[in-house]
Amino acid sequence: MNHHLGQRRWVRQLTALAVGVLLSQTAPVLVQAQEEKTPYSKFIEYIEADQIETVKIYEKGKRAEFKLKDQKDNEKSLEVLLFNKNPELYGLLRDKKVDFEQIPDPGENPLFSILLQFFFVILIIFLFLVFLRRTAGSNSGPGQILNFGKSKARFQMESETGITFSDVAGIEEAKEDLQEVVTFLKQPERFTAVGARIPRGVLLIGPPGTGKTLLAKAVSGEAGVPFFSISGSEFVEMFVGVGASRVRDLFKKAKENAPCLVFIDEIDAVGRQRGAGIGGGNDEREQTLNQLLTEMDGFEGNTGIIIIAATNRPDILDTALLRPGRFDRQVTVDLPAFKGRLGILEVHSREKKISPQVSLETIARRTPGFSGAALANLLNEAAILTARRRKDAITELEVDDAIDRITIGLSMAPHLDSKKKWLIAYHEVGHALLETLLKDADPLNKVTILPRSGGVGGFSQPIYNEERVDSGLYTRAFIIDQITILLGGRAAEVEVFGESEVTIGASSDIKQVANLAREMVTQLGMSDLGYVALESGNGQDVFLGGDWGNRAEYSQEMAVQIDRQVRDIVMHCYEKARRMLRENRSLVDKLVEVLLERETVEGDEFRQIVVDYGQSVEKKPILPEPLPSLPLLS
């Protein structure tokens, strides 16, 4: 710190000196400019009147000194400022036979100007060297231009992440697998004594936001060993051979500090399949991957070095990277179930002021499919809304608004009273009523006509069945009911306003209907075509080693039958939706009146109105018993 302060002091002093020199050169000129000068016109009059005795012309200074004939010898010469070019002056002086001479400015020394320019060059070089010295100690910049082959891994002699397994919730199975890695690092003799080999690598696989990087930080915090962390993209540069050099340098440093932990985040950036795609892969990336494969399990052993890598794209990783001996363990970090979500909410709610009326269990049940990062963002959004509304603690209202904001979008200004508002109300009631009446559908959470960002005019929101979402087991009856509910909005528009007045508001619903119906026929074996998978649906890209394009896997005759089956399913559900809404038209009108008045109706209140009109509503638990498969077209 004192060194940099001294450098800055010297720079200020040199700058002040340079300014002083310039001022010293310009000061005489300024003084002279301030003295009284003879006007040029008066000077010409003196010449024409033949009153001038001698003239000294300083061309560089654009001035002249002259003496009049009637001046005494001890009197000071008069001075006049000249123009840039004065051809008529010299002619006039010759005509009047005035004695004149052209001389350089007194005291002007060319050597001084050269030295002054040289001084400024030295000053610029000195300032540039000071800048280089200040940047030499940083991780990037000119001071590190010759170190691009060195590893950019962040190194900590002892873990300072501040994160332990107690800060990680919702992924207990993954924590248990990684607990053994911590024991390997702390007490390797327990395993080597019985002939067990310490695993070389652990690959964390899971969707984004599930806590893979957090798990690696927790392992580092628990083990307390030297910790290297780097991203896969930092290995690859535009220079050929740099990536492989950085891999060698990383493992060299790791061997010097063994036992230690190396964490490579987003390893798919460097570990993609070799030779995939058209014309082969990137040679520099493949060289980097080859060097990584050799370092992990080549001729030399890496005793005491455990590598933890994370990715959400295991399907594109090279098979040589996944074999035992390199990544001995593949730990799946999946989306949390109900207990996992509850644990994550408990961890992230420690430092937030939450009202006692808020139930974390209720939030956990309402958020199936949420990752750990999404749950953390949910509580953060609720806290932001609480601060904006000037409340002391997070309430249920802020939690509900935060869930809607994340899943659907930002709330906008209410619709004005117009035909559009009525149409949206009938559309959403069509969804919500079918969701309430159909046996195998999820129960309604709420229905609203408040618009959301992204062009959402309103929505009908269900309470998702946690068991169904977590297991991924959907019955045929549930899918049929889902298609019927999706078509409920269009069916309500047709029943109330007529075919000619339908809008494009159901376009996204129709796309989902088409995807569901086609998947039932071509992939799930839920049609009269039999239990066959006619489309793979793998979605592989040709540049990742997949097949060219979307090749048809069936004949043209089968394609016609598939289209017919898809249309039959959709039309059956559409007619069913229209029939149910037609039979309950008075109930639909009543529900629309309530929705227009309140703009948002909760699920319990909606069901109570339906019951009051004489409709039986079966109570649908959040965790129902497994349902038997129903006929496709009932």
Residues marked active site are found at: 428
Task: Specify whether the CB–CB gap between 546 and 538 falls below 8 A.
Answer: yes
Instruction: With both helix axes pointing from N to C terminus, report the angle between 488-497 and 419-437 in degrees, rounded to the nearest 10.
Output: 130
C-alpha dihedral sign at 36, 42, 48, 49:
negative
Burial zone of 555 (CB within 10 Å; 0-12 exposed, 13-18 middle, 19+ buried): exposed
Tokens 């004005």 locate to 416
Q: What distance in Å separates the CA atoms of residue 64 and residue 66, rounded to the nearest whole number?
A: 7
| Helix ranges, 349-465 (H) | 360-366, 372-388, 396-407, 419-437
67 Cβ neighbours under 8 A, 6+ residues apart: 52, 53, 54, 75, 77, 78
Task: Specify whether the CB–CB gap between 485 and 441 falls below 8 A.
Answer: yes
Task: Specify whether the CB–CB gap between 465 and 391 falls below 8 A.
Answer: no
Task: Specify whether the CB–CB gap between 509 and 458 falls below 8 A.
Answer: no
Nearest to 59 by CA among 101, 28, 94: 101
Q: What distance in Å separates the CA atoms of residue 90 and residue 98, rounded to the nearest whole number?
A: 10
Q: What distance in Å separates the CA atoms of residue 241 and residue 283, rounded to the nearest whole number?
A: 9
Give me the phi and psi of 230, to 5 degrees please. -155, 155
Q: In what order do the strands lie in the sheet with 63-68?
A: 78-81, 63-68, 52-58, 99-102
The 8-class DSSP code of residue 272 comes to B
Nearest to 257 by CA among 301, 227, 299, 213: 227
DSSP codes joined into one string, 203-248: EEE--TTSSHHHHHHHHHHHH-S-EEEEEGGGS--SSTTHHHHHHH
- Residue 437 in tokens: 């009446």
Q: What distance in Å separates the CA atoms of residue 315 and residue 458, rounded to the nearest whole number?
A: 38
Task: Specify whether the CB–CB gap between 448 and 428 falls below 8 A.
Answer: yes
61 Cβ neighbours under 8 A, 6+ residues apart: 105
A 10 A CB-CB count for 318 gives 22
- Pairing state between β 459-462 and 260-265: unpaired
> Which amino acid is residue 14, in one-letter code?
L
Q: Is the bond preceding residue 28 a cis peptide, omega within 30 degrees?
A: no
